[in-house]
Each structure stands twice: as C-alpha cells, then as structure tokens.
Chains A and B, each alone.
Chain A
C-alpha cells in the first residue's frame, strides 16, 4: 500500500524537481558557455578591407592606408611658412620629379621660371603629420593672374604622393604631352616602389582627361589628370588609398579633385 502510494507520488516529485531545473537550465547553459569563452582564446574576426601583409610592408602604401583609416586631418599640424622657404621646398620636389623623369624638362623649366619671376605670393601653408608633408602655394605673375602649386610628400622616403599645378596662363605648356613623359603612370608606380603589386588594372573612366591604374591588393589608385577650360589649366597626379568598395562606388574625378585639396 505504502509502496503503491510512493510510486504514485514519484511522478509529481519528479515534476517538482524538473520545473526548477527547467527554469535554471538557460542560466546553467549560459554559465557553461561563458566559462568556455573565458578559459580559451578566440580567433579574431576577419576585418574587411584590411591591407594585405605584402602591401603593409611598403611604407608609403601602409602610411596612405593608415591615414585613410585615421582620417586625413588626424594628428596633422597646419602652419604658414615664408615664401622663400616654400619656393625652396617646391624646387626640391621638382628636382626629384625631374631626376626620376616623371615630368618633362620643358615644363619643369617653365615652372621654375614662373616661380622664380613671381611678383607676389600669398602666404604659403604647410601641413605636417601622419608621415606626410604638404605644401601649398599661390603665386602671382606678371602675365598671369595666378599660379597655384601644391605637393604632398611622404617624408620618410621623400616621395611625392600628390602634385598639382593650376594656372590661367593661356601660353603655359599644360597639356599632357608637354607635361608628362610617356608611360607616366608606369614610371610613377616604379618611383613609388609599387612594382611588387601584381594586380594593376586600368579602370575605364568616362572622362578622357583622367588616366589611372588601380591595385586592389594595395588598395591604391594612381592617376594623372589634365583639365582646362577657356582660361584655367590644371594638371595633377598622385596616389590615393581607397578601399575596393569605395573604388567601385565613387566618382573618380571628384575623388581626384578632392585629394588635391
């Protein structure tokens, strides 16, 4: 009789044990998972848009990539420098470009001459930070209203990473054949030490004034641009770090102009 009674009570007893067990089972499971999480290291998630190890070994590439990540104005100091100092710095850069046969001698001579004969110059600005030094100067010449030159240099290796000249002088030799050597972008790529990247492609641009090449592995875009209207002439070249997503989605011309500023 007692045994039958106890057997009858057993299912209810089990249910009274099961209910609290069920209520605390999620806690128990969570604690077990937490203990596992805390007891052993975990693989890092893959970071999208990360520069490859090979590309990171190229200092200029890594610096441009890093600066893109941090923002262009991160840890950068802007100041004004005297005209003479700005001229000297510009000449240094132009000599380097001449030495590496990136820009044609006639154009460089014209530019030296124009800078040398400038009659008035606005205060020149210089920016330093993130391994990049930028100089921007505007000259006034007798027969032109203005001549603007800006150049950014990767300081550790003294490499010009953007160069831009803008003038309203109608006789200035600012056409691609007069400014750039042939195969300019190939020369520029070698100059920057980016030959080790093997996935260079020439993107199709709707604008005939832009010539460019792109490496997805290095997330780097090299370009040269020539643009003019009735009175204003602009040419520039440079290297821009951008993610593959940005490269596919952006207006290249706008990007190029934005990089000048």
Chain B
C-alpha cells in the first residue's frame, strides 16, 4: 500500500472516530440537558397538581366518597384543560391500597406501571415508553389525604428532537467524511509528491546517474530531506569520482609496475640467455654479468621501496620527539658520494614529533631527487625553517624544475617527469610516492613548489615540540 493511501486512510479513520465520539457525546449531552430542564418543569407541574388536588379535596376529609372525589378530580382536570390545553399532564389518583379512583392517563400506560411509580416513593421518578410515546411518571402522596397522585408528562417531543438531531448529524457526518476523504487523498498526494521525486531520483542514482538532484524547496522536513538527499548525492558522486580516479591510478600503477618489471627482466633474460648460449668473450661476459647484477639490484631496491610503502599502511610510525639536527645528520650520513654539496640550514635545539628513521628516509629521497634534477648551482639546500611555532623541513634545488601539469602526478608511484634520465640515475619511481606516504603518516603532506628552469622546493610542515 502506498504511503499516500495510508495517510488518507489514517486521516479518514481519525475523522470517523472523532466525529462519531464528538457527535455521540454532544447530542447525548444536549438531550440530557433538555431532559433535566423538562424534568424540573414537569416536577413543578406535578407539585402544582398535588397542591391543586389537595386544595380541591380539602373539604372531603375524613369521610371520603369515591364518587365525590371522582367529580372533584374531573372538575380539576377540566380546569387544567381550560388553563393549559392539551399541554397539561394526565394523572391518576390512587387510594392508599392502590385502587384507582380517577385516571386521565392514556390506556397505553398500564395500571402496574403507574402503581409501581407510587411504590418508588417521593424521591424518584421514572421514564416509560408506551406505544412509542415517551412519558415521565411522577408520584406523590396527597398531604392530608390517604391518596396518591401519579402524573404522566409527555416527553416524546424531546426524544423526537434528539432523533432528528441524530439523523441530521448522520447526514452531516457522511458529507463531511466524503469531502474529508477527497481532501485527505489530495493532501496526501501533494505531501508525498516530493517523496516520489526522491524515490525516482534514488532509483536513477542506483542506476548510475550520479548527477541527478531533486528540487528541494521549503523549510519543512521534506524540504530538509531533499537537501540532505542532494548532499548525499553530492557525496556519492564525489566518492564515485574518487573511486574511479583511484581505479585509474591503480591501473596506471599496475601498468607502470609491469613495465618497470618487464624492462629489466627482458634485459636480464637476454643477457642470461647470451651467457647460457656458450662461451663468450671476457668483456662481453663481464658486461652481461654487470647488467644482470645492476638490474637485479634495482629490482631488489624497487621491491624494498614497495615493501616500505605497503609497510606504512600496516605498521604505524614510531612517533617521538626528535632533534631536527639529529635527523639531518642521519640524512647526510646515509647519502652516497654526491657530485655536489648539500648545504644545511637548521636552527639548534628544535624538536619535532616524528619517526626518526622514516623522516630521514624522506629527506634523503628528497635530497637524491634534488641532486638528480641537475642543479645549475653546485649544491642543494636542506633546510629547516620556523614558521609560527611550526617547522618547515625540506629540500630546494636549482634544477630543471617540473612542468605545472606534471605536479599533481609526480606523487604517483612509477611516475617520472624525465623517464630515461631517472632510470639512468637509478631511480625506481617510487621515491616521491614513499615520501608523500611518510609525510601523510606524520599528519602532514608534501608541498611542492616548482618552476621550469628555476628549480624545485619540496617541503613538509611538522609541529615543533618540547625537547625529550
């Protein structure tokens, strides 16, 4: 069942219950009130009849003649008819042993009904439905006489009025329910229309149309839901784009990795096959052995770098306060013999929270990259600068620089700006990717400033900490 249908049925059901209860209680209360008013009026009329008959019978005590009492009652009834017309009550006069002396009651009200009213006593009264006519029966003793008066007051008009109200209310309630049903259905359709749009948009997104958005207006919950949906769709689209980009990157990585493996392996296979094919001249054999050795060494270096890269994903770095100067010393100590000098600028006694070994690897890689960039000057610059309570560590060179369009790719594994030169220099293409990953593991990132023909500066910023 659709939500709009549920909403319509619920509204209709609530209306049914509310209108029914309200109508029932309201009409019954009106009826009860009308009865109370009529009871008071009829009680007054009853007492008036009591007093009138007591007065009429005043001279008859103590020797009551039934015929005389009957005549007086007839005279009283005639007077009442003359005064009040048909609105006057009908009554029966009983002797104290229950013998009816006079009665103007309708025949539909039986003797037993009347006498039972006498037996109720003065404090009570009763309603009677006789031949579809409603009566209020009241009984009282006639003071000073051994007689009882029972009066019957017609109440049918009140019952008929109540029935008329019920009938009228039923018709009105029916009309209201029909109109309310249509209104509720229309309202439900209007209210659920945005939800339909959301549902359709969700289906399209599920089908791959990530650019679908819904029109979200209004400040109510549905409008808010639409806006949240759009935000979610934005996130999904971004995430999917990131996934696609990641997928592309991985494809590139696999391609590059394959290529990186295939080239040396092909050469190794070639030279190995040459050595296997027979006795070779000494120089040729030496060349083949050297090539196999160096390419194997490069493959071993590549696999170590890749293992380091993977290791960072599984083993968190051992962060602890370390002196920057100590890290720089480690870097300088680990460098091979270089064709140029490394100038160092580092303030004394500054400390950072870092994994000393990893950070030294990072800076070492940067220095080697800088050296390979063929600086115009005969040095590269390893520096540590204080910036607003933080420390910027990096390497600057005066080399060829990196084209702007390459900047966002050079952190990918195996990506090289100048592939032939890099390979010739022994680079495996994973160095900068490893540096970026180490910086990330320290809560920082590599910042690369480069201009073609001027040089490159690669740095990262770390928090300065107190000494250990």
- Shortest A240–chain B CB gap in Å is 17
Given contacts A11-B1, A41-B120, A45-B39, contact A70 B55 (CB under 8 A): yes
Residues in A with CB closer than 8 Å to B31 are 30, 33
Of all chain A residues, which has the CB nearest B51? A66
- Shortest A5–chain B CB gap in Å is 11
Q: Give B96-152 interface residues, CB cut-off 8 Å to A.
A: 120, 122-129, 138, 143-144
Q: What is the interface of chain A mostly: helix, strand, loop, or mixed?
A: helix
Contact A45 B16 (CB under 8 A): no
Given contacts A18-B13, A26-B166, A69-B51, contact A62 B24 (CB under 8 A): no
Spot the interface stretch: B40-48, B188-196, B246-254: B40-48
Cα–Cα distance between A70 and B54 once the two chains are bound (Å): 11
- Shortest A73–chain B CB gap in Å is 12
- Shortest B127–chain A CB gap in Å is 5
Cα–Cα distance between A22 and B21 once the two chains are bound (Å): 8
Cα–Cα distance between A27 and B32 once the two chains are bound (Å): 15
Cβ of B12 under 8 Å from chain A: yes
Cβ of B52 under 8 Å from chain A: yes
Cα–Cα distance between A62 and B51 once the two chains are bound (Å): 10
Contact A22 B177 (CB under 8 A): yes
Contact B40 A45 (CB under 8 A): yes
Contact A131 B58 (CB under 8 A): yes
- Shortest A241–chain B CB gap in Å is 12
Contact B127 A27 (CB under 8 A): no
Residues in A with CB closer than 8 Å to B54 are 66
Residues in A with CB closer than 8 Å to B144 are 59
Chain B interface, number of residues (Cβ within 8 angstroms): 52
Cβ of B295 under 8 Å from chain A: no
Residues in B with CB closer than 8 Å to A215 are none
* Interface residues as binary, A1-27 with B (CB distance below 8 Å gives 1, 0 otherwise): 000000010011001001101111111
- A-B contacts counted at CB < 8 A amount to 113
Contact B174 A23 (CB under 8 A): yes
| Among candidates B17, B40, B43, residue contacting A22 with C-beta atoms closer than 8 Å | B17
Cα–Cα distance between A218 and B21 once the two chains are bound (Å): 48
Cβ of A258 under 8 Å from chain B: no
- Shortest B42–chain A CB gap in Å is 10
* Interface residues as binary, B189-220 with A (CB distance below 8 Å gives 1, 0 otherwise): 00000000000000000000000000000000
Cβ of B257 under 8 Å from chain A: no
Residues in A with CB closer than 8 Å to B138 are 44
Cβ of B237 under 8 Å from chain A: no
Contact A22 B51 (CB under 8 A): no
Contact A38 B127 (CB under 8 A): yes
Contact B20 A33 (CB under 8 A): no
- Shortest B125–chain A CB gap in Å is 5
Residues in B with CB closer than 8 Å to A129 are 55
Cα–Cα distance between A81 and B242 once the two chains are bound (Å): 129
Q: Give B58-75 interface residues, CB cut-off 8 Å to A.
A: 58
Q: Give B154-192 interface residues, CB cut-off 8 Å to A.
A: 159, 162, 166, 169-170, 173-174, 177
Contact B166 A44 (CB under 8 A): no
Of all chain B residues, which has the CB nearest A65? B51
Contact A25 B55 (CB under 8 A): no
* Interface residues as binary, A109-144 with B (CB distance below 8 Å gives 1, 0 otherwise): 000000000000000000001110000000000000
Given contacts A18-B16, A130-B55, contact A30 B24 (CB under 8 A): yes
- What would 12 A/B residue contacts be, using CB atoms closer than 8 Å? A15-B9, A18-B16, A21-B20, A22-B16, A23-B170, A23-B173, A30-B162, A41-B120, A47-B40, A66-B51, A69-B48, A130-B58
